[in-house]
Structure 1
Amino acid sequence: MNASAIGNDDLVDTLHRLRTDGYVVLEHQASESLIGQIEEELAPWFEATPRCEGDFHGWQTTRIASVLLKSPAAQQLLLDPFVLRLLDHVLAPYCDWYQVNLSQAIRLHPGQRQQFPHRDDDMWPCSKTNEYMVNVMWALSDFTRKNGATLLWPHRHLASSSVPDPREAIAAEMPRGSALIYLGSTVHCGGENQATTARTGLVLSYCLGWLKTYENAFLAYPPAIARSFPKSVRDLLGYRMHRPNLGNWEGQDPAIALTSSSRVHPTVDALPEDVAEQLRSYYEMNGR
């Protein structure tokens, strides 16, 4: 799907395909100038960062974390309006607000073997009746089957957790600047890079606001750094309280940590409206 063609009428169709297939590709969703700026900002980090160590993360793979700090331009991808509209439908009904689960730039070097097929939401070992996570893989280079484009198993998010048939996988081939959006329950993996050049992507992952995240946002972006970010980014990083009363700092919304050094504050309720009404009704009925 081309970004210029995406409008309000496309939201329902895109949501349907995402929920049915487990993924959807938005071609040329980011401008060439933005992708070029992100590449430039990440270049020294790719140069300095050692390759991964482990069968899951890949021995011929480079991964860069805390991307929103190392590439300020990547914040624009994080706040992509159409992506956020999708998240409002997939994640927002099940939490007070959704948050950044992970920001990671990934480069598959030539010779990197195919990754083990997996579901990302298996990191939370519990039964799930709704989606916990949505990932967006932004293509910083062209993704082809030969250079290790992400492999996905359509409809497998609706099936059991057995190892999928490799013949059923599809390669998410897409041009640079495109976005592959896939559910946390979608079976997928990095493909094998049989090319002579690297394949580079940037994953921005979002999850329900009451979950423990893959990347510790408060170490990746401590208050001294986060206070320089736009409020919309700070909110996604968790510098806000999730009702009821989750993630507070000194009894208040953690956003206060960005403006105050005092550790003396009153503890303030942060309750969903239905719970707050329950409490009010209780005290009215009991004459208190």
Structure 2
Amino acid sequence: MIETMTPLVEDHAAGLEERGYCIIRGALPPATIAALDQDLAEDFARTPFCEGAFYGTTTKRFGRLLIRSQHAAALVRHAAILATVETLLSRWCDRIQLNVAQAIAVHPGAPAQMPHRDQDMWRAPAGEAEYLVNVIWPLTRFTAANGATMVWPDSHGANALIPEPRTAPVAAEMAPGDALMFLGSTLHGAGANRTEEVRRGIVVGYSLGWLKPYENQWLAYPPEVARSFPPELAALVGYRQHRPNLGNYEGQCPSVLLGERVDQPLAAIDALRPDQAAMVDAYLASQAT
């Protein structure tokens, strides 16, 4: 499986590094996307329109997708996409985390969204590191007319420091089953919906494991919910420490909350990177001589 996946991962990673984005055609079966869209239909109908000029008053948004539909996990846990994200972000973190899983419906008459970079949610240095990778999955067909996501090629990385983009935007036209991946440093924004149809999609984002995520995962998926998740998914939504000792519960990995005996006193346990453990061992050895 890994051998057949590697060329795909290398291709996706190269596109992200070179252009700041890539489109994966046929990433999932359209039937999976259709089933997810059907599961979310009532939530789309009941959710009120957003407030504020950035979210858009003709747009609806809601999260907690992993408990709204069993099909959402297929997007969040897509093997080639996760491997691509880990390839790109692992140089800056011990592990990645789920940053957001959100459904979005852009209604007729919606204006174009202000071009922006998602990394700007954190007040961190730009152009030196990548903090997240986002993936947009269309639930309905994305066209230039109905507001497909606009992406500015080569606006990522160090080019994010340039006041004005050097390239014209591209409309990411896609069909259900396709996926748009782009870096947190890439300039983008929803296009204007000039049609009479509602454009629906999903954004799944992954960020460095030591950042505060956009969606509060522990509230979205508390222990009584996360206990039903496969271990890998529970870890992705936050039930795993980021070395050294970051995000612990009583000094242990928060995955302990998913077990049966969570009301017992716990001993704090080191969770160090190998280089840190070696440094501690060397210090203790020097003190013993």
Shorter-chain TM-score range: over 0.9
Q: Distance in 2 between matches of 1:72 and 1:217?
A: 17
Residue 134 of structure 1 corresponds to 133
Deviation at 1:250, TM superposition (A): 1.1
Deviation at 1:163, TM superposition (A): 4.7
Change (3 A) 1:52 1:263: farther
Q: CA RMSD in A?
A: 1.5
- Read off the aligned partner of 1:148 and give its amino acid letter: G
- Deviations along 1:73-115, one digit per CA (max 9) or x if unpaired, are 1111111111011012101222111000011011100001000
Tell me if structure 2 keeps the 8 A contact 1:68–1:75.
yes
1:254 paired with 2:250, answer no
- Read off the aligned partner of 2:139 and give its amino acid letter: L
User: Equivalent residue of 1:94, what SS?
Assistant: coil
Residue 180 of structure 1 corresponds to 180
Q: Distance in 2 between matches of 1:108 and 1:124?
A: 25
Q: TM-score, normalised to structure 1's length? A: 0.94
Q: TM-score, normalised to structure 2's length? A: 0.94
Residue 232 of structure 1 corresponds to 232
Residue 110 of structure 2 corresponds to 112
Percent identity, aligned pairs only, is 41
Residue 285 of structure 2 corresponds to 284
Q: Distance in 2 between matches of 1:263 and 1:106?
A: 42
Tell me if structure 1 keeps the 8 A contact 2:101–2:202.
yes
1:85 paired with 2:83, answer yes
Change (3 A) 1:241 1:10: closer
Tell me if structure 2 keeps the 8 A contact 1:250–1:263.
no
Q: Distance in 1 between matches of 2:14 and 2:248?
A: 36
- Deviations along 1:28-79, one digit per CA (max 9) or x if unpaired, are 2111221111011111100110011110001100111111111221111111
Residue 3 of structure 1 corresponds to none
Residue 267 of structure 1 corresponds to 268
Residue 22 of structure 2 corresponds to 24
- Read off the aligned partner of 1:225 and give its amino acid letter: V
Tell me if structure 2 keeps the 8 A contact 1:117–1:163.
no
Residue 200 of structure 2 corresponds to 200
Q: Which runs of 5+ in 1 are unaligned?
A: 1-5
Q: Distance in 1 between matches of 2:154 and 2:66?
A: 32
Tell me if structure 1 keeps the 8 A contact 2:8–2:80.
no
